[in-house]
Amino acid sequence: MFNRFKNINIQIVVAVLGVLIFSSCRKIIGELPEFDQVPVINALLINGKPITIHVSFAAHPDTTGLPVCENANVSLFIDGRLAENMNYDEHQQAYISNQIAEINKCYRCEVVIPNHDTLSAETYIPAPSNIYNPTVKYIGGYDNEGRPYPAVVFSFDTNPDIMTYYQVFIENVPGYECPLYNPTDEVILNEGTDHPVFSNEIIQDTIYTMELPFLTGSSSDIREKYVIELRTVSEDYYTFIKQAYLFDDYINNIGNIMTGALVPQYMYSNVTNGYGIFAGLSIVRSDTLVPQMKELRHFPSLGEKTKGNSSFSSTITTLPKSTPAKPI
Amino acid sequence: MKSIFAIRFSLIMTAIALSLATLAQKHHISGYVSDASTGERLIGASVVIDSTSTGVATDNLGYFSLQIEIPATIRISFTGYANMRINIENVTTAPLNISLLNNSTNLDTVEIVSSKNIINQKLNVNTLTAKEIERLPVIGSKPDIMKAAQLLPGIEPMNEATSSLIVRGGNPGENSYLFDNVPLIYVNHLGGFMSVFNSEMINSLKIYKGGFPAKYGGKLSSIVDITQREGDKNNFKGSLCAGATDISFSFEGPAGLKNSSFIITGRKTFIDLYYLGVSAIAQYVEAQDFSILYGFHDINGKYSWHPNNKNSFYLNIYEGDDYLKIWKKEEDRHELSKFSTSNVWGNFLVSGVWNRIVNPKLFVSNTISYSKYRLKNKYNLYAEMSPDTIDYWTKGQSAVQDIGIQSNWKYPLMNNWNMEFGAQVSLQISNPNNYTNQYIGSTNISEILYGLNSVVYLENKIHLLKIINANLGVRLSHYYTKDYNKLSIEPRADINILLSDNHLLNLSYMRVTQNSYLLFTAGNIMNNEVWVPAGADIKSSYSDQLSFGWRGSLYNNMFEAEVDIYYKKLYNLATYKEGCTNIIGDGNWRNKVISGGSGKSMGLEIMLKKTTGNWTGFASYTLSHATRQFEEINNGEEYIFDFNRPHSFSVNIAYDLNRKWSFSALWICQSGLPYTPVLAVQYIPILYNDGSIHYEKSFIFGERNSEKLKLYHRLDLVAKYSKYSKRGRQVEWTFSIYNAYCRQNPYYYFYAPEDWQYGLNTDAILYKYQFSFFPIIPSFSYKLFFDKNPRKKPSL
């Protein structure tokens, strides 16, 4: 029954009526201006994983598959020393290193492509933070149409004296990312967006507990399983991924007459003489979290709901403070 | 440095004032000029000492004060009214109440003159009369003062067909809308497609774009001074009007007490029925109990009482709301559920005014006012599912209230020096973000912010050497909140140099401070305008503006022409952070706002106006350039202002064929709004949960607002047919065509693959799309007048 309400998208209804009234129209116009190819370096250096660097070209918007650069000379420097000249792997369409990314090291790459200026970028890999006591609340709140949505609750350690950046990935097992919904955590709100990217700028303590409500796409299905992935990221990645989320919002609102013209979302790049992102991060994952079936009913009564928030919260897998989750 | 300049300026101005005060004084007369048949005060009437060029114009209250040597003859004139001369042979302290005969009253026996007099003209100010507004074509065939104002040089709409004004490169939230000298906060209906001002209530419209008199302030870009009509003191009359979008009424007449009158007007949309009809169809098609309602209403009233020649009392009330409501109900054997959502936004205003002529030299106007704007939404779910019952709701509201008191005084020191001074105090109560959510661990966010704004001002209107008319003033403003104090010294100078009877030059400078910000998302039909007050985090903004211009009358006053150039700098601007569109429900809303921005704007404005003869109208052209700079936008680089239109031209022509038929046409041609182009696409890495990295396409944008939408132009046509019924009642049909040649003007561009609704996949080829609204839109309205004097055509 409640899924039917989900079909009432106010914006769509008003948009359709607006279209009827004003007979708006859209059409393809004009040619896009020429654009000379510019090299792009992309690499996410993950603690404990082999290093790969993807080199491609930014191209005119009417290009279908963007060209990948196979003839570049890619050099990897670790803490200022040349560590390796990387080889191109056709299968992965990327340059592969024998090096395993490690925390607290400074990585730099230099890419030489014929007829282009030398590209370079550098980054570091921050140490991971630990997750404690991850839980899933079946009811983290109710949306504008009264449907419940869940929330994850977890603690993590951080050093308030060192500016540290994070991304949280709430995975709906077996795979897709659950977007945040109406977050009220002040650390998230401090970022000015509703996305799970934040810094410890306003965190005072060494342990911080965060509650993140999210959408699952099927809120009434209580058999979902979740994993919390906490990514401790470099400042470059933080800036980049924040813009990437905003760009995703931009894409999702394209052509929406309710929002009108959209504000452009520039993608952050730390690559000299090109585009792309070269950034490091460390990842910690919780165990799989499953709500306890016996405590759940299809829709609880308000009387129960207003008495407290424990009835439908379930701690399925607890990681005690002494045994933090391990990095993947 | 700027403060030192302001202090020096104030000292010089005071010195000039003191030196002029030593000159000899003569006898003063004062009073009101009004319409003989209705008793309504006339604004801008000329009161001149006969056979001289010495005179004044009546102000927004119809009041004048003039120094004469007895005996003297004064000549009073006003466009469309009989000229009147009065001999004054004895000293009198009693105020004069001068009544002019309308030209339609007795055309054969009175002299009709044009009141154009270059002495009364000002630059930086555009004036439109009710008749001029009435003739301009708009969607729905009903006049709209904001749409009319957008045709004036230096003033443009934010987007096509919206009521919001962009004045000399300023934001929509930088305009002060004064409704009989009381600020009204929100001015849009229907997502901006209509303004909240019912033209039935409007007497005159003045828009100050620069050189603000010291009396005015609080907003950086313009003062929109709207004077409401007074009701007819002698006759009951009114009108009913039905248009394509709404129905409206107007009633006026004597109000019981001697010399008192009332006028009340109201509007209500038709499109509510349209929406309900669509909902009914949807119910039939989808077999769902579902309704949607969208519309607005407003009601406006004014009570006037002039118990004697010295005292006048006014009471003004305005109330108007837009609303979008949705209901849905589902029921089966086991369950009943009802869902509703409601969005309401609008204004309320009430004010009381007491004007008193203390003596022939001293006039005082006291006003107390309360205005409120609020945007609120509520969602409710009620469900019965045995044995449980759910009654869940959320409420959000953003509101700002303004409680004000002001006292404005006029005192002529001598014939060539009039002083105006006063004090204004207003308490602003802002609650930008009040949110309650009833569920487990319900949240209740509410933060009430108080701001006290105190102002004193002094204006000196000086006429020197018969060729200089200067308004030199200063405005001292103090803004106080619990964590923020701001004292502003705002010097003002507006100097006119008369080159001849028909030509003048103007030079003006002003500084203005603004203590609140309008945050909005352009193009959102459900209003999301939120006002936030200045404070420790978001400091007050201010602007400096310098302008220079010429105004003249040509061909025996058949044409008026003006040319202005201006340069404006804006400081401490605030806006939404990129990617943020709303703050309601967010306790840390300040993190979504960036401040400390700056702006520049410069331009050339030309206007040519013909006001006599069967053919009338005006043409205007604006050449402008406006930029903004914020540390967190466009990499901190200066960029073109979102609503910058380098070229804007409009021409409006009206023709009276005979007493029944009149026609008008409007052609607008403007540069397209700026937009940010997509230059290329690139891969970006997205890290998945299994540790794999996928490469997705994203855009590489060019510099912000570095390109323009294609040229905007359209032609609007209006035909008006007026006749008298057998009962002697006047009826009026208005037929209009918006965008007569059906130009598909771009509203905005966007980039997307051909199957754009499915997102941006890696193989997608991007195209540039144009989104257009408003093709050719024909409409009509029907208006029926009620009048005890049925053969006389009432004014608008």
Between B763 and A108, the higher pLDDT residue: A108
Any B CB within 8 A of A40 CB: yes
What amino acid is encoded at B258 in this protein? Answer: K
User: B636 touching A, CB under 8 A?
Assistant: no
pLDDT at B493: 96
- Can you tell me the ipTM of this complex? 0.83
B548/B309: higher pLDDT: B548
Inter-chain touch A258–B586, beta carbons under 8 Å: no
Q: What is the mean pLDDT of residues A304-323?
A: 31
Q: Is B441 on the interface with A (CB under 8 A)?
A: yes
Mutate to test the interface with B, among A4, A49, A66, A248 (most CBs of B within 10 A): A66
B687 and A CB contact within 8 Å: yes
Chain A residue closest to B738 (CA)? Answer: A22
- Is it the case that residue B441 has pLDDT exceeding 80? no
- What is the C-alpha R_g of chain A? 23
Collect all residues of chain A within an 8 Å Cβ-Cβ radius of residue B324. Answer: 10, 14
Which residues in chain A have Cβ-Cβ distances shorter than 8 Å to B328? Answer: 5, 8
Q: Are residues A108 and A137 in the same domain?
A: no
A296 and A167: one domain? yes
Write down the mean pLDDT value for chain A: 78
Residue A164 belongs to a domain: yes
Query: Which residues of chain B make contact with A25, given a CB cutoff of 8 A?
Result: 744, 771-772, 775
Tell me how crowded residue B663 is: count the other CB atoms within 10 A of its CB: 15
Do A136 and A199 belong together in one domain? Answer: yes
Taken in order B575, B578, B581, B583, the sign of the CA dihedral is negative
Q: Tens digits of per-residue pLDDT, A214-259?
A: 987 654 455 678 899 999 999 999 999 999 988 888 887 776 666 6
Choose the closest CB to B683 out of A8, A66, A299.
Answer: A66
Residues A108/A80, Cβ–Cβ less than 8 Å: yes
CA proximity to B260, closest of B290, B293, B234, B291: B234
For chain B, the residue count is 796
The CATH number of residue A107's host domain is 2.60.40.10
Please tell me the predicted confidence (pLDDT) of residue B98. 86
The parent domain of residue A217 ranges over 131-232+280-314
The predicted model gives B754-764 an average pLDDT of 63
Q: How far apart are CA B375 and CA B75, in angstroms?
A: 51
pLDDT category at B625 given cuts 50, 70, 90 is: very high
Looking at A85, A104, A124, which one is the last position of a domain? A124
Distance from CA of A206 to the nearest CA of B (A): 22
Nearest CB partner across the interface for A192, out of B592, B673, B685: B592
pLDDT band at B758 (very low <50, low <70, confident <90, very high): low
* Yes or no, beta carbons of B523 and A259 under 8 Å apart: yes
- Do A97 and A184 sit in the same domain of this protein? no
Across the interface, whether the CB atoms of A66 and B682 are under 8 A apart is answered yes
Residues A101 and A171 in one domain: no
Position B260 pLDDT exceeds 80: yes
Which residue would you say has higher pLDDT here, A313 or A103? A103
| B 258-317: CB under 8 A from A | 271, 274-275, 278, 288, 290, 292, 294
Closest chain A CA to residue B444: A184
Q: Using the beta-carbon criterion (under 8 Å), do B383 and A146 form an inter-chain contact?
A: yes
* pLDDT at residue A2, rounded to an integer: 34
Tell whether the model's pLDDT for residue B10 goes beyond 80: no
| B744 contact residues in A (CB cutoff 8 A) | 25, 27
Q: Which of residues 218-237 of A touch B (CB under 8 A)?
A: 227, 229, 231
Single out the residue in A124, A153, A168 at which a domain terminates. Answer: A124
Region A156-182 average pLDDT: 89
* Burial of A328 from C-beta contacts in 10 A (0-12 / 13-18 / 19+): middle
pLDDT of residue B658: 86
pLDDT at B525: 46
A267 domain residue, yes or no: no
Nearest to B389 among A23, A25, A301 (CB): A301
Stated as kind and residue range, the H or E segment containing A314 is: strand A313-314
What's the gap in Å between the CA of B269 and the closest CA on chain A?
14
Residues A137, A200, single domain; the answer is yes
Using 50, 70 and 90 to split pLDDT, how confident is the model at B112?
very low
**Is A76 within the bounds of a domain?**
yes
Let me know if residue A33 belongs to a domain.
no
- What was the pLDDT predicted at A296? 43
Range with the poorest average pLDDT among A7-16, A153-162, B677-686: A7-16
B323 neighbors B297 (Cβ within 8 angstroms): no
Q: Which residue has the higher pLDDT, B88 or B161?
A: B88
Closest residue, chain B, to A56 (C-alpha) = B683
**Range B154-169 average pLDDT:** 87
Query: Tokens representing B758?
Result: 């499915």
Q: Does pLDDT of B184 surpass 90? A: no
Mean pLDDT calculated for residue range B533-558: 90
* Contact assessment for residue B467 and residue B496, using Cβ atoms and an 8 Å cutoff: no
pLDDT for residue B524 is more than 60: no
- A48 CB within 8 Å of a chain B CB: no
A124, A141, A174 — which closes off a domain? A124
Backbone phi and psi for residue A4, each to the nearest 5 degrees, phi listed first: -65, -35
Beta bridge partners of B636: none
Higher per-residue pLDDT: B298 or B331: B298
Position B268: which residue type? K
pLDDT at B113 over 80: no
Residue B37 pLDDT > 90, yes or no?
A: no
Percent of chain B with pLDDT over 70: 84
The whole-number average pLDDT for the span B414-427 is: 90
| Residue type present at position B782 | Y
Residue A141, pLDDT score: 75
B394 contacts in chain A (CB < 8 Å):
142, 144
Q: Give the side-chain half-sphere CA count within 13 A for B241.
A: 29
Least Cα distance to B264 among B295, B240, B242 occurs for: B240
Tell me whether residues A264 and B339 touch, CB distance under 8 A.
Answer: no
Q: Is the pLDDT of residue A100 over 70?
A: yes
Question: Residue A174: is its pLDDT beyond 50?
Answer: yes
Q: What is the pLDDT of residue B753?
A: 79
Residues 6 or more apart whose CB falls under 8 angstroms from that of B503 comprise B118, B550, B551, B552, B553
B587 touches chain A (CB under 8 A): yes
pLDDT for B341: 83
| Banded pLDDT at B134 (limits 50, 70, 90) | confident
- Partner residue facing A141 (CB), from B437, B675, B681: B437
Confidence of residue A75 (pLDDT cuts 50, 70, 90): very high
pLDDT of B506 > 90? The answer is yes
For residue B94, what pLDDT band results from cuts at 50, 70 and 90? confident
Q: Does the pLDDT at position A306 exceed 60?
A: no
By C-alpha distance, which of B140, B168, B685 is closest to A269?
B685
Look at A129-133, A225-229, A318-322, B319-323 and tell me which has the smallest mean pLDDT.
A318-322
Is residue A1 a part of any domain in this protein? no
Residues of A in contact with B673 (CB under 8 A): 261
- Is residue B447 less than 8 Å (CB to CB) from chain A? no
Select from A61, A62, A261 the Cβ nearest to the Cβ of B522: A261
Task: Give the mean pLDDT of B191-204.
Answer: 79
Q: Are B560 and B608 in contact (CB under 8 A)?
A: yes
Write the DSSP assignment of B454-496 as a string of letters: EEEEEEEEEEETTTEEEEEEEEEEEEEETTEEEEEEEEEEEEE
CA distance readout (Å), B215 to B16, B42, B646:
19, 21, 31
pLDDT tens digits along B454-495:
999 999 999 888 788 899 999 999 999 998 999 999 999 999
Kindly identify which residue of chain B lies nearest to residue A144, measuring between CA atoms. Answer: B379
CA dist B792 and B786 (Å) reads 10
B383 in contact with chain A, both atoms CB, cutoff 8 A: yes
Identify the pLDDT of residue B380. 80
pLDDT tens readout for residues A136-145:
887 777 766 6
For the ranges B391-400, B525-534, B672-681, the maximum mean pLDDT occurs at B672-681
- Other C-beta atoms within 10 Å of B47: how many? 25
Number of H helices and number of E strands within chain B?
4, 48
Look up residue B581 and give its two tokens.
């569109």
The total domain count for chain A is: 2
- Among A65, A265, A300, select the one facing B763 at the smallest CB separation: A65
The CATH number that applies at residue A136 is 2.60.40
- When pLDDT is averaged across residues B246-272 and rounded to a whole number, the result is 89
Is B580 in the A-facing interface, judged by CB distances under 8 Å?
Answer: yes
Question: How confident is residue B12, by pLDDT bands cut at 50, 70 and 90?
Answer: low
The secondary structure of residue B765, as a DSSP letter, is P
Whether A305 and chain B come into contact, CB under 8 Å, resolves to yes
Residue B440 has a pLDDT of: 45
pLDDT at residue number B426: 95
A-to-B residue pairs, Cβ atoms closer than 8 angstroms: 281
Which among A6, A46, A52, A142 is the top mutation candidate for probing chain B, defined by the most B β-carbons within 10 Å of its own β-carbon? A142
Do A45 and A192 reside in the same domain of the chain? Answer: no
Residues A110 and A160 in one domain: no
Interface of A with B in 258-277 (CB under 8 A): 258-267, 275-277
Q: A148 with A117, same domain?
A: no
Structure tokens at B153: 């040089």
**B772 vs B598, more confident:** B598
Instruction: Read off the pLDDT of each residue in B265-278 and give the average, rounded to a whole number.
Output: 79
Which chain A residue shows the shortest CA-CA distance from B396? A144
Question: Of the given ranges (A50-54, A267-271, B162-166), which has the lowest mean pLDDT?
Answer: B162-166
Mean per-residue pLDDT of chain B: 83
Which residue among B437, B521, B681 places its CB closest to the CB of A61? B681
Report yes or no: B44 and B78 within 8 Å, Cβ to Cβ: yes
Tell me which DSSP letter residue A66 carries. P
**A216 interfaces chain B, CB cutoff of 8 Å:** no
Pairing of strands B707-708, B712-724: unpaired
Beta-carbon separation of A139 and B591 below 8 A: no
Judge whether A81 lies within some domain: yes
Residue B371's contacts (CB-CB under 8 Å, 6 or more residues apart) are: B182, B183, B184, B185, B347, B348, B349, B350, B351, B401, B402, B404
Put simply, the answer to whether A145 touches B704 (Cβ < 8 Å) is no
Is pLDDT at B87 greater than 80 in this prediction? yes
Check A61 against B765: CB less than 8 A apart.
yes
pLDDT(B111) > 60: no
User: What DSSP assignment string belongs to B101-169?
Assistant: PBTTT-TTTS-B-----GGG--SSEEEEEHHHHHHS--TTSS--HHHHHTTSTTEEESSTT---EEETT
Question: Which band of pLDDT confidence, cut at 50, 70 and 90, is reported for residue A162?
Answer: very high
Residue A215 lies in a domain: yes
Task: Tell me, yes or no, whether A324 lies in a domain.
Answer: no
Q: Which residues of chain A are within 8 Å of residue B577 when distances are taken between CB atoms? A: 192
Report percent pLDDT > 90 for chain B: 34
pLDDT value at B4 more than 70? no
Are A115 and A143 in a shared domain? no
B379 reaches A (C-beta below 8 A): yes
| pLDDT at position B290 over 80 | no
A182 touches chain B (CB under 8 A): yes
Q: Can you tell me the mean pLDDT for B286-313? A: 84
Tell me what pLDDT residue B431 has.
85
Assess whether A285 and A159 both reside in one domain. yes
Interface of B with A in 108-167 (CB under 8 A): 159
Query: Could you read off the pLDDT of A2-47 as tens digits, one per residue?
Result: 333 334 444 445 544 554 444 557 777 877 778 888 999 999 999 9
For testing the chain B interface, which of A2, A7, A22 should be mutated: the one with the most B CBs within 10 Å?
A22
Write a three-state SS string for B727-743: CCCEEEEEEEEECCCCC
**What's residue B634's pLDDT?**
84
CB contact, 8 Å: B659 with chain A?
Answer: no
CB A67, CB A108: distance < 8 Å = no
A91 and A172 part of one domain:
no
